[in-house]
Amino acid sequence: CLSRIACRVSFIMADGDEESEEDGEVSFKKPLELFEQKKIVRICAPMVRYSKLPFRTLVRRYGCDLAYTPMIVSDSFVKSVKARDMEFTTNAGDRPLIVQFAANNAKDFADAAEIVAPFSDGVDLNCGCPQRMKSLEVWVLSLGGIAIQESVLIPVVANGDIKTESDVINVHEKTGVGGVMAARGILNNPAMFAGYQSTPLQCVTDWVDVALSLGTPFTNFHHHLIYMLEKVTTKAGKN
């Protein structure tokens, strides 16, 4: 990893074309197609406990182009069916999707990637945690700091303190990156990529509908609701 900069690398699965509506599936663009065709790719960051299927479903309704799963520990994911069932859920509309793994050896990472390959569009290796890995070919580089897209030949994604759509545009203009990733900002306002300054009431209503339809555990549902309403609720109202 780069010194003093949180870094993650993504490996895009290039086999196959996007599903078409004629096949009865939701149409979507592969990640590299997004970077080729869009000026700015807007991305929901991997967030432990939070960037799960229900939340990914919500943010896709509000301008999110590409979403990541929470970080998954690759060795337990490979060895345990229970871990796979708990850590990775998706559906036909959850695309394009990048699955993030933590790994300290290439075999676990490769085996985990093979398991999720039919259901995702790429895998991501979290290099921000203290783990040692051999050198691998990189397709997308994500930096928690300033990066200049012109200095590398692969798409670069910036993240860190992205709270509004204005932040997205400003970072792109200053760095030339191909994508901008939001974490805390999109937790507070899942509609931020659609230009909203705070979570609109319709987004809250959509969250209730999504959570009910996908069977979201109450604790997870409640935590997201607290984040969304943080600016308009009192401390007592959050309990």
143: Cβ contacts below 8 Å, ≥ 6 apart: 2, 5, 6, 7, 156, 157, 158, 159
Helix (H) or strand (E) holding 182: strand 179-182
In one-letter notation, the amino acid at residue 101 is F
Rounded Cα distance between 160 and 96, Å, is 22
Is residue 1 part of the annotated active site? The answer reads no
Tokens standing for residue 39: 């000026």
Catalytic one of 44, 127, 129, 203: 129
Cα 228 from chain centroid?
18
Q: CA angle at residue 89 from 215 to 26, to 5 degrees?
A: 95
Specify the pairing of strand 179-182 against strand 66-68. Answer: unpaired
Tokens standing for residue 144: 């928690």
Active site residues: 129
